Amino acid sequence: LPVIGILGGGQLARMLALAAAPLGVRCSVVDGSADACAGQLAPLRVADWRDLASLEQFAAAVDVVTFDFENVPAATAEWLRQRVPVHPSPEALAVAQDRISEKMLFRAIGLDTPAFAAVSTRSELDAAVARIGVPSILKTRRLGYDGKGQFRLRSATDVDAAWAALGAQATPHGLVLEAFVPFTRELSVLAVRGRDGEFRTWPLTQNWHHQGILALSCAPATVAPELAALALHKAQALAEKLDYVGVFALELFEHAGHLLGNEMAPRVHNSGHWTIEGAVTSQFENHVRAVLGLPLGATTLRAPSVMFNWIDALPEPVTGALALSDVHWHDYGKDPRPGRKVGHATIACADSVQLLARAQALAQALGREPQLAPALPVLHAG
């Protein structure tokens, strides 16, 4: 049986292992924590991925290496590549690890980004605020996720607070100040590229965040067809420029009829979880296929879908959710913790009127109406 080695043992690795099993593929996971949730479903090696000697056995026992976590040090990815194929490549990983190189890449393929400026000192922050203005967002260039490592400046008087919050992280990797985009929609393109260059995208997804963390996704997004086509085209240009292999997500803002690139994730992505039930082939299965050089599965829609993310703790009562048809429950087996993604639920339903009714019934059964509320206009229009 082929074995995929996964760096990082969170829910993404867990769902990769679930998708790999029916293909006769096994997964083996490395994580720094003994209770990484993928370890419930796949062999888990507890190691520090900066400690290369501790990865020697892992590298020898797998056929290909991939990631559940994009912040694996570039040196580790490079060291592994000397021993075993690594997909996506260490180069693609490196670009996506730095918000500035990511934005330069977007611009190189003709995808606009919010105005931005690199910041590594307090005086550079003052100059950046003078140039970009407020509202704006100061972000760490590296290692941020789920809105962590960000500070929103609402007025010029917030500069002191922003520097107090993030100034300590200004060296050695730096910060970036971005113009705040009053977007009409947040969209993501989920895409996959095979080892042979075959490229596919799933239908565009619309996302709603709460306090910087993804709260809800709907697919397909209801956007102008030209805009959807453009988004998919930009994802393809990005994949080709990086000679990318595997699944990735391109996060976009729609503003005044234009698309702006926010960031990319060089891995399977939370906004693509709906593809497990809502698409012919899920993002997880296609990532497995891509990194092993197998033919890709169809990415076409099976049914319009709504995905609720469960943050902090799983909602109760679960049986209330399971009693509803077309609800698919995913418990990651993680202990509750503030701000932690512990599970999700997807409703996939061919009839858009029923989809809305079921999403409302699920939200009501779990007391999550506020989580669904921002998406109601879109679901009503669908």
Binding site for ligand ATP (CB under 6 A): 114, 137, 144-148, 178, 180-181, 186, 209, 212, 251, 262-263
Query: What is the biggest distance separating any 2 CA atoms in the chain, rounded to whole angstroms?
Result: 60
- Residue 15 or 321 with smaller CB distance to ligand ATP: 15
Residue 138 CA to residue 118 CA, distance in Å, equals 10
- Residue 178 or 263 with smaller CB distance to Mg ion: 263
Q: In angstroms, what is the minimal distance from the CB of 180 to ligand ATP?
A: 4
Q: Answer with the entry of ligand ATP, Mg ion, none that 209 interacts with (C-beta below 5 to 8 A by kind).
A: ligand ATP
Residue 347 burial by CB count (10 A; 0-12/13-18/19+): exposed, middle or buried?
buried
| Interacting span for Mg ion (CB under 5 A) from 7-15, 48-56, 260-268, 288-296 | 260-268
Q: What Cα–Cα distance (Å) separates residue 293 from each residue in 26, 172, 187, 239? A: 15, 38, 29, 16
- Residue 68 or 251 with smaller CB distance to Mg ion: 251
Could you tell me the sign of the dihedral formed by the alpha carbons of 135, 138, 144, 147, in that order?
Answer: negative
Residue 68 CA to residue 317 CA, distance in Å, equals 30
Q: Which two tokens stand for residue 34?
A: 């003994």
Backbone angles phi, psi at 306, to 5 degrees: -125, 130
- Residue 135 or 297 with smaller CB distance to ligand ATP: 135
Nearest residue to ligand ATP, by Cβ distance, number only: 181
Q: In angstroms, what is the minimal distance from the CB of 101 to ligand ATP?
A: 14
| Interacting span for Mg ion (CB under 5 A) from 55-63, 257-265, 273-281, 339-347 | 257-265
Q: In angstroms, what is the minimal distance from the CB of 46 to Mg ion?
A: 25
- Residue 135 or 320 with smaller CB distance to ligand ATP: 135
Hey, which residues between 215 and 254 contact Mg ion (CB under 5 A)?
A: 251
User: Cβ of 156: how many Cβ atoms within 10 Å?
Assistant: 12
Q: In angstroms, what is the minimal distance from the CB of 204 to Mg ion?
A: 16
Q: Is 263 annotated as a binding residue?
A: yes
| Interacting span for Mg ion (CB under 5 A) from 15-23, 50-58, 232-240, 258-266 | 258-266
Instruction: Tell the residue number behind the tokens 């891509």, with chain if given.
Output: 290
- Residue 110 or 339 with smaller CB distance to ligand ATP: 339
Q: Is 209 annotated as a binding residue?
A: yes
Q: Is 207 annotated as a binding residue?
A: no
Q: Is 293 annotated as a binding residue?
A: no
- Residue 341 or 358 with smaller CB distance to Mg ion: 341
Contact 218, 375 (CB under 8 A): yes
Backbone angles phi, psi at 361, to 5 degrees: -65, -40
Q: Where are the beta strands (DSSP E) in 235-336?
A: 246-255, 258-265, 305-311, 327-331
Three-class DSSP category at 231: helix
Contact 102, 95 (CB under 8 A): yes
- Residue 31 or 263 with smaller CB distance to Mg ion: 263
Cis status of the peptide bond prior to 88, with omega within 30 of 0? yes
Q: In angstroms, what is the minimal distance from the CB of 344 to Mg ion?
A: 16
Q: In angstroms, what is the minimal distance from the CB of 175 to ligand ATP?
A: 13
Residue 173 region, left (φ>0) first, then alpha (ψ -120 to 50), else beta?
A: alpha
Q: Answer with the entry of Mg ion, ligand ATP, none that 178 interacts with (C-beta below 5 to 8 A by kind).
A: ligand ATP
Q: Is 31 annotated as a binding residue?
A: no
User: Which of 63, 78, 56 is CA-nearest to residue 20?
Assistant: 63
Q: In angstroms, what is the minimal distance from the CB of 172 to ligand ATP?
A: 19
Q: Answer with the entry of ligand ATP, Mg ion, none that 68 interacts with (C-beta below 5 to 8 A by kind).
A: none
Contact 178, 159 (CB under 8 A): no
Q: Which residues are annotated as a binding site for ATP?
A: 99, 139, 144-150, 178-181, 186, 209, 262-263
**Binding-site ranges for Mg ion (CB under 5 A):** 251, 263
Residues contributing to the annotated binding site: 99, 139, 144-150, 178-181, 186, 209, 262-263
